[in-house]
Structure 1
Amino acid sequence: MTTLVKPKTLFIGLALLCVLAIWLSLALGPVSLPLLDTLKAALRLMGLPIEAQGLEQAELILGQIRLPRTLLGLAVGGVLALSGVAMQGLFRNPLADPGLVGVSSGAALGAAVAIVGGSFFGGLPDAVGPYLLSLCAFLGGLGVTALVYRLGRHNGQTNVATMLLAGIALTALAGSAVGLFTYLADDATLRTLTFWNLGSLNGASYSRLWPLLLVSAGVALWLPRRAKALNALLLGESEANHLGIDVERLKRELVFCTALGVGAAVAAAGMIGFVGLVVPHLVRFLAGPDHRVLLPASVLAGASLLLFADLVARLALAPAELPIGIVTAFIGAPFFLYLLLRGRA
């Protein structure tokens, strides 16, 4: 298959785009910082001996607010895009989305339980309280995904079509349960639940960040090791088996990594759509279906896209802030329609 961009050129371009996104994410906001001061303050935070005169404010803003937010955006965007590649490879369909296995809807249900039923968790230790929402969302995503996978299993085999239908059914069931919690919520909890479902990187902190970084790093290190197996799976399950690929094990790994990655991302930043759908599709359009290129390139592209979307969310209505899920939908949906129409033409 002919590609529009050579892999080396693509990686260089995406790496530079990601660096630019990080730099702008650290510099711009309700209080914008000069780009040079941002760079100096960032180098000081890394421990380099840079002259500190006049950098106190920049160093404080970067260290306490923008650096954890930028790291959160990098991790969430990268793992969502990577999970999108995994699901599109599993279902052998470039229109597949990480939410097809129920992880997003399960996380939303877990978050609704934590937000609306928060009064029932009043006796929890102080060390657990700040993590309650993220923990419930993470466990909800894993639980629904495990149920979808179990329903797709029969006689020791995993039927992808059955798993897809089970995911659709359980997503609808989880959505109705979230609707019930929404109906039962008072004004304050309803507002919290609504904004969480729209996604945001606001309020990022190092305590919220480190679990996501650990999970994202694990998924990002593991999935590229399965690139050749995913390439074989593109030929079909029987053909992959004849090539020596343990297809059932591969399916388990893809579902498990997606559940971990998307569950952790949604738990940390709320519901953010279209990243896992549009980014792999765009990278595949540029560089072809080879997962050895597609997987790492999607990480860079997803991280960059989410940081640029967060910039729009911060600056469009400053000092107010748009939920980032609205921005990704406004960017992703028209672009995805363009790709569909272009492909049909």
Structure 2
Amino acid sequence: MNARLSRFVASLALLLGLGLPASQVRAAAVTVDLTRLMAIQTYAIEDKADDEAFAILTGVAAGKELDMQKLPINGSWKIGPRTPAVEPAKPLGVWKGELADGQFALLTVTLFQGKGDDATVKAFVAKKAEAEKAVAGRSAAKATADEAKKIAADTLKAHKALVKDVKKIVGGSEKKTDHYGGQFTLMLWNNGGKIVKRLDPVGLTFGEHAGIDVKTYTKIKRTRRNVMMKDDAGEWYEEEMLMLNDDENAIRVKMLDTEMIKKDGKDFKNVTDYLAEIQVKADGKALKWKLGGENLGVSDVHAWWDWAD
């Protein structure tokens, strides 16, 4: 069959809904970008002090374990309410690669406050890797739709079990180590040339959903009107950030930790509150997001979604 006839047959098959053999399905070029990272409230106790923060990327892609990647590669971010680490005008590349039909990438981003040279972070990553060994199919080169869904669900279960005890590993101010900030996982799967995506935040891992006391969560939810944004004139104002950007092609994840610490010999409630925004592109086109698993709270600001896809 000559090239022109081959292309005609392929086009006709698609029009008729016949699909194509896996060998003829083109691999998709996928990129994951962090388009926003900002601190609503900092971990730093000192008034008006910015945080140092970093993230760790781990996961698998097309059946191969990824080398642990620190973000940023060198040093750490300087971040505060008026000092965003990442903005949409200058996104940060998190991962890129090609996925053939049936192949998937499972990517986990874990945020920390600190310099990134603390041995406890490596201990956390090692324990995370050990927990993920129980996830069947995680190292497979390819997956079916049901298998991909189960891999994502089992990974989330393993992460929840680990993160609920995270302060026994990465103790923060109490143990003078780096501080755990939050975690979310992306499943990216090629289904016949189309990238199917899903983001799972690790959810509430300590405390109560609407509680005002000690609690830790990573959720898809709106913020209060307390996010510092700058207008075109360079003036700062407080804004409420919703779960998606205006174009619905970037998803936002809110990461909060409320803890009791010692300050001047007294107990002090310290709130660390960050917002990350993530965009996935397939063959250069930003993919739209929709929210799933809505949970109604005592008010709109307390509502959250279990996942986005």
TM norm. shorter chain > 0.5: no
Q: Which has the higher contact order (CA 8 A, sep 6+)?
A: 1
